[in-house]
Amino acid sequence: MLQADCWACRRCEDEGIIPEAAPVFAGRADARFFLVGQAPGPVERQSRQPFSGRAGRQLGRWMVRAGFASEEEFRRLTYIAALMRCYPGRNASGTGDRPPPRRAIENCASWLGAELELLRPEVLILVGQMAITRFLGPGSLEERVGRTFGTRPVMIPLPHPSGQSRWLNDPANRERLMHALGALNDERRRVLEQRDPGAG
């Protein structure tokens, strides 16, 4: 089983990239939405649930704005994973989390690829610059957030919901976020109506 194999993965630990492997992801095989983030943080490392810290609470509020009845509904309908499945650790200065090393992202790429191939989601929610770049190539958040890309899956870029991000301090960027959540609401309604006509 793919999930069991991923939970048992120790590649980055064996290569000395991280001291201890603890893969974090969650979702069901029938998920039509797929969220890709950067990497779990220290809270997620302990809980083993993606977006379970402060950024996750903000993400949950965004998803309610995007039309999901609750954060619980969003999580039930969405497979949540990341470019790196384990907590990468603190950065050298101790002021924040270390960005996922390239080798770790390469190690985890097979899990992400297999999940996308198996689930074939209709909507891909890209959270943060690293996830956006992985699927759309280089470009600024200003160029991406508020727009949709592709058809199946439809890709919807979002900024990272971390409180450390200053991107949303700009009113124009908050407007971009609102457009992105509106687009996600449109896609949510379309997907749920396909599954259950009259829902949404």
**What residues does each domain of the chain span?**
2-195
Confidence of residue 94 (pLDDT cuts 50, 70, 90): confident
CA separation for the pair 45, 86 (Å, rounded): 7
Mean pLDDT confidence for 182-199: 85
Q: What is the pLDDT of residue 107?
A: 97
pLDDT of residue 96: 82
Does 198 score more than 70 pLDDT? no
**Per-residue pLDDT band at 134 (split at 50, 70, 90):** very high
Q: Is the pTM of this model over 0.85?
A: yes
Section 109-125 average pLDDT = 97
CATH class of the domain comprising 2-195 = alpha beta
To the nearest whole percent, how much of the chain has pLDDT over 90? 89
